[in-house]
């Protein structure tokens, strides 16, 4: 674990550094408060800090206040103030400034070790809470099986992309994709094989689009792809690349090779008035998809440009 020692006295700084290294810490040192603030502001900065109260340029309490005032910082820094002050008013001042704990000089190594262990426990709890929060956030916006955007999230991305498209006067396109004869896969090979096909489809679709495009699971075996800044001259080759990514190579599922294809309904969205007519756009893409199915599947059909009312 990395720890910062901010201490202006070179002798105390060296002794503290050696003590912490014996405890197994990776020690980073600072000679004043400004240097310490710079180190703690780095993306990979220490999350444990032992800070002297009296330092040049920026003292310990002032440093604590600046660290706590930072915005957009997901990593909590556990701060222990090192001080010769023992009055209760001084202790309250340090804690109210943002310190988590304090230890008085001269300190006993065993006490320092115990106080830092408390900090490690707090940081561990904080990491678990952050992890749980991110898992909840991911679960609310992503499909459990494929890890693609779920229906609600991909529709939100459609709206955002359409608004951006209108603002920048650039086209965007939608591709509504459906796996051909998916029911046969489930019936002939089982639902586990069907799930594996869905996962592989998701992987291939994601690998076939640009980094700023979006892929979501729209329904059971339906997928919706949002292609930003893509209009005439772009949508056809992009859609064909995506179709071929699915159909071009057999799926290896449980030691069996399955030929899987996908039908796609494409639509260029541009030049509408008012709020983006998302339902109308999706209806147009769905009609194109239905036509692709009726014409034999494993193909792309384009609805053409739709101008909303």
The catalytic residues are 221
Task: Please state whether beta strands 262-269 and 300-306 pair in parallel, antiparallel, or not at all (unpaired).
Answer: parallel
3-state secondary structure of 6: strand
CA distance 45 to 51: 14
For residue 2, the tally of other CB atoms under 10 A from its CB is 14
CA distance 160 to 156: 6
E strands, the chain, are: 2-6, 26-30, 48-52, 78-83, 101-104, 172-179, 214-217, 222-227, 251-253, 256-258, 262-269, 300-306
Which secondary-structure segment (H or E) carries 246?
helix 235-247
* Residue pointed to by tokens 């396109």: 173
CA distance 130 to 132: 5
């Amino acid at each position: 674990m990395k720890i910062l020692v901010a201490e202006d006295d070179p002798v105390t700084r060296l002794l503290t550094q050696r003590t912490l290294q014996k405890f197994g810490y990776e020690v980073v040192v600072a000679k004043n408060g400004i240097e310490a603030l710079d180190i703690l502001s780095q993306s990979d900065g220490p999350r444990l800090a032992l800070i002297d109260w009296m330092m040049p340029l920026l003292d310990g309490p002032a440093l604590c206040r600046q660290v706590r005032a930072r915005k957009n910082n997901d990593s909590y820094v556990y701060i222990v103030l090192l001080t010769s002050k023992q009055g209760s008013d001084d202790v309250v001042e340090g804690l109210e400034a943002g310190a988590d704990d304090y230890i008085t000089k001269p300190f006993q190594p065993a006490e320092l070790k115990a106080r830092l262990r408390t900090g490690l426990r707090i940081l561990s709890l904080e990491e678990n809470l952050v992890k749980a929060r991110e898992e909840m956030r991911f679960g609310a916006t992503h499909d459990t099986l494929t890890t693609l955007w779920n229906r609600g999230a991909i529709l939100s991305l459609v709206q955002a992309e359409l608004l951006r498209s209108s603002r920048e006067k650039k086209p965007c396109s939608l591709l509504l994709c459906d796996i051909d004869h998916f029911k046969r896969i489930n019936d002939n090979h089982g639902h586990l094989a069907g799930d594996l096909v869905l996962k592989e489809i998701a992987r291939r679709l994601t690998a076939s689009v640009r980094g700023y495009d979006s892929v979501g699971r729209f329904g059971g075996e339906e997928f919706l792809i949002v292609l930003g800044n893509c209009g005439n001259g772009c949508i056809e080759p992009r859609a064909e690349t995506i179709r071929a990514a699915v159909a071009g190579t057999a799926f290896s599922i449980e030691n069996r090779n399955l030929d899987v294809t996908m039908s796609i309904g494409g639509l260029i969205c541009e030049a509408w008035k008012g709020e983006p007519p998302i339902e109308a756009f999706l209806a147009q893409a769905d009609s194109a998809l239905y036509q692709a199915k009726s014409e034999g599947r494993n193909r792309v059909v384009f609805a053409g440009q739709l101008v909303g009312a």
